Amino acid sequence: MALRIGEIAPDFKAESTQGIISFHRYIQDHWAILFSHPSDFTPVCTSELGMVAKLKVEFEKRNTKVLGISAGTLESHKRWIIDIEETQETIVDFPVIADPHKKVVHLYDMIHPFFSHSETIRSVFIIDPGKRIKSILIYPANTGRNFHEILRMIDSLQLTESFKVATPANWEYGKDCFILPAVKDEELATTFPRGFKILKPYLRTTPQPNL
C-alpha cells in the first residue's frame, strides 16, 4: 500500500556508503530527504547525486539530512561515487543506501511495475523531525529532479509548520505569504505584527513572518 503524507515514515536498517543506517535514529531531531535512483552508473542519477553533494550546505542550513538509495550493491555504489566525484567535480559526503534485495524500496513503494519491475522511480520523501512524511514527489526515470525546488519545498514546509500561513504559487524565501483562513480578522494585528493586507476576505497577505 502506498505511503501518504502525514504517516510516520517506516523505519529501517540498511547498509550505506557511510556505514549501517538505522533510519529513525539517523534522523534524530533533523528533517530528512530520502530520494531514490533507478540504478547506478546512469547519467541522470550521476548528475543528481552530484547536485545534492553541491547543495549539502544548503540542506544543512535547513537542519536537513539527505540520503540517497538505489537497489545497487554497496560495492557498486562505492565505485559509482568515484565517477560522480570525478565528473561532477564535488565530494559525495552523504550516505547512499545499498538495497540490493529491495527491502527498503518496497517498504517505500519506490518500484512501480508499469515503469519497471526492478528499477525504482525517482521518489523523494521529505520527513520532519517527528518522523512524519511531509511531502512525496515522484519523477519519471528520464527526468532529473530540480533540487532547488526541493529546497523551496523544505522552506515552505518549515515555515508553514511554525506559523499560520500558506505559501502562494512560485513562492520563494523572503516573499509574502497568505494568511490562513482560520485566522480571524481581529487576530491579524497581534498574530502578524509585521503587517498584513486584505485583498479579499479570503485573500490576505503578510510578510514572511520568520524574518
Closest CA to 163 of 176, 152, 150: 176
Catalytically annotated residue among 21, 33, 45, 52: 45
Angle at alpha carbon of residue 101, lines to 17 and 104, rounded to 5°: 70
Answer positive or negative: Cα dihedral of 39, 3, 66, 25.
negative
177 catalytically annotated: no
Cα–Cα dist 86/109, whole Å: 32
Closest CA to 71 of 116, 26, 138: 116
Instruction: Provide the annotated active-site residues.
Output: 45
